[in-house]
Structure formats: structure tokens, C-alpha cells
Amino acid sequence: MMGLPLAITATGLVTGVGLNAAASCAAIRCAIDNFQETGFMDRGGETILGCEVPLEKPWRGKTKLIKMAAAAINEIIRAKPEVNLAETPLLLCLAEHSRPGRLIDNDAQFFLNLQQELGIEFSDQSLVIAAGHVSVAVAFKHAREMIYQQGVKQVLVAASDTLLVAKSLAHYEAQQRLLTSENSNGFLPGEAGAALLIESARNHPGGVLKCEGLGFAVESAHVDSEEPLRAEGLTAAIKASLSDAECEMGDLDFRITDVSGEQYYFKEASLALSRTLRSRKDKFDIWHPADCIGEVGAAQGLIMLSVLKAACEKEYSLGDRMFAQMSNDDGKRSSMVFAWSKES
């Protein structure tokens, strides 16, 4: 992607710690969370903690998912009123179809309902990407093709997801993956809506966060398998993204990841780094926004990139080059290499 970089020119967020991108990123920077007691109980009879988005009305289910996605998209519309949305494809990132408790039973109808909520009809090149955490990387792959091969001016990527669903919580508790009074090795559930506006970086020489590399792979020793974890899938995805960006791990300054509390994913991140970093670095920090917002499914990746953009703009980033890594429970892995291009 070295010759085909993509720029993130606007972001929109609705999370449990902020109802816009600025508030959410500021809270995450300060390590502020909003974990509170939910209406769900664990098997030990204790209330499950979670991070709920506090909207103005007590919407639930698919209605809340639509409201969160619409709010994130509207934030971008307000920031970029010049964008012609009728000519802009919307790449909508949703939970995997196989995830227990998935609220959306018809992706196409959900997309139509979101358009109705916004009062907008997006380009007929729009897509629904039901790939969980790795959805954002898949969306960037499609966006690169649309912008550089099909002549699309900009692409809107959005996501909305929630783990605060009884069926989902029951499944993950049974798998001993939910943080409860009886299990310390697990994640806290959350929900969020997010949106990104992507354009060609060639039109934005400075002051933008550029995606320079993408990589994908599949991990056979995924979290539900019984195989020993060697992080071969994530390692392959990272190497592919570094090759795409024509750089090495030692050229990067830090990383951001979707890990949300489970030891499996922290171990995977550590193993993958040890297999890809060949030069000595005194420090190679890892950021994980899920510490503040919980496990938010398909919106996790978009939130990570929004945090990177805010960090670079506010000058609290740990460097000008970094990478993001995402992992799905089904074994799909992705990596994205970014660079901050300062204004000249």
C-alpha cells in the first residue's frame, strides 16, 4: 500500500465514556472507564459489570444499534458537510453471523433501517461486512480498491455492536471468558457505535493519519481450539502488513490492540511481537482501549483507529509510526500499519 495510502479525515464515536469522538478519546487517554452494574447476573448470583452507552432514551436491541451507528455517522456529517453522501459508499461493520446472541437477523434490512434513520441513501457500492473485530481492516481493503481503482472520492466506514445481550453473556460465561465474581480471566462487555471517513492520502499531504499497510491471516489455534498457541496467524498478518507498507517492525514506535482482558489474547500479542521485532528497542508500548470501554465487538477496531488519530493530532502519541492488530474468536487475524504525516 506504500503507493496507495488511505487517510482518515474524520471520526465519530458513541461509547460508554463519551457521546462523541473528542469526549471518548479524552476519557480513554485519561484511563477513565464507565463500568457499572448491569441488569444481568452471573452464576454466582453477583451482578455483571459492563459499559453501557447512555443515550437520551432507554432504547434496546436493534433500535439502539441503529441509534448508535447513526449518531457516529452524524458526527462525521457535521464535521464534513461538503461530503456528497449520495456518492459515498457506506461500509457497515457488524458482528460475525456465528456469534451467540447476535441481535441482527437480516443485515440488508438493518442497513436499510439505518439509511431511514439518517434520511440518506448511500452509494449503491455500499457493503455490509459482518466480520467482527477484523471488519475495519476488511473495510480498508475494500476502500482502497474503491478509491484507487474505481475512482470513488471518499468512503464512510461505520460499526455498531453490543455484547450486553443475555444470550451472549450466558455463552461467554459458560466458556469461562466473561469477567465475573467466579472468573478473573475474562472481559467486561460493552457497546459502541463508530464511524470513519476515508480518503486518498495523496490529496492530504500533511496533518493526517495514513494507513500504509494491510495484512490478513488465519490462526488455527484460536481461542476455542485445543491447539497450543504460537501466534502464527497474527504473526503472518503483521508480516504481511509490514511488507505492504515496505517497512520493518523496528521502524514502528508502538502498537494498539483489541485485547480486552483475556490472557489468551495478551499472550498472542506478546508472541507475535517476539516473532516480528528483530531490532532492539528499549520500549514498544501497547495500547488497549478496551480497558475503558469493554469488549464492544465490531466497533472495537474503529475505536482503536479513532484513538490513534486523536493521539497524533493532540501530540500525545508515542511516535509517528504504529500498527494496529485485531483478532477474531474464529481465528481471523488482521494488522494495519499507520503513519502520522505532519503538516508542512
pLDDT tens string 252-290: 999 999 999 999 999 999 999 999 998 888 889 999 999
CB 12 within 8 A of CB 74: yes
Q: How many angstroms separate the CA atoms of 326 and 203, rounded?
A: 28
Could you tell me what percent of the chain has a pLDDT over 90? 93
Q: Are residues 174 and 218 in the same domain?
A: no
Is the pLDDT at 344 greater than 70, yes or no?
A: no
DSSP state of 140: H
Give domain status of residue 116, yes or no: yes
Q: Are residues 172 and 302 in the same domain?
A: no
151 phi/psi in degrees, rounded to 5:
80, 20
Inter-residue contact 139 to 131 (CB < 8 Å): no
**Quick one: 236 and 169 in the same domain?**
no
Residue 1 lies in a domain: no
Same domain flag for 20 and 63: yes
Residue 295 has pLDDT above 90, yes or no: yes
For 287, half-sphere exposure in the C-beta direction (CA atoms, 13 angstrom radius) is: 27
In the prediction, which pLDDT does 1 show? 59
pLDDT tens digit sequence for 207-263: 899 999 999 999 999 998 889 999 999 999 999 999 999 999 999 999 999 999 999
HSE toward the beta carbon, residue 286, CA cutoff 13 A: 17
Q: Alpha carbon 140 to chain centroid distance? A: 12
Residue 203: what pLDDT? 83
Q: What is the CATH number of the domain that holds 53?
A: 3.40.47.10
Task: Indicate the residue among 178, 203, 228 that finishes a domain.
Answer: 203
Residue with cell 514506535: 253
User: pTM here?
Assistant: 0.96
pLDDT in tens, 69-121: 999 999 999 999 999 999 999 999 999 999 999 999 999 999 999 999 999 99
Average pLDDT, the chain: 95
What is the helix (H) or strand (E) element at residue 332, kind and residue range?
A: strand 332-341
β-strands 208-218, 154-162: how paired?
A: unpaired
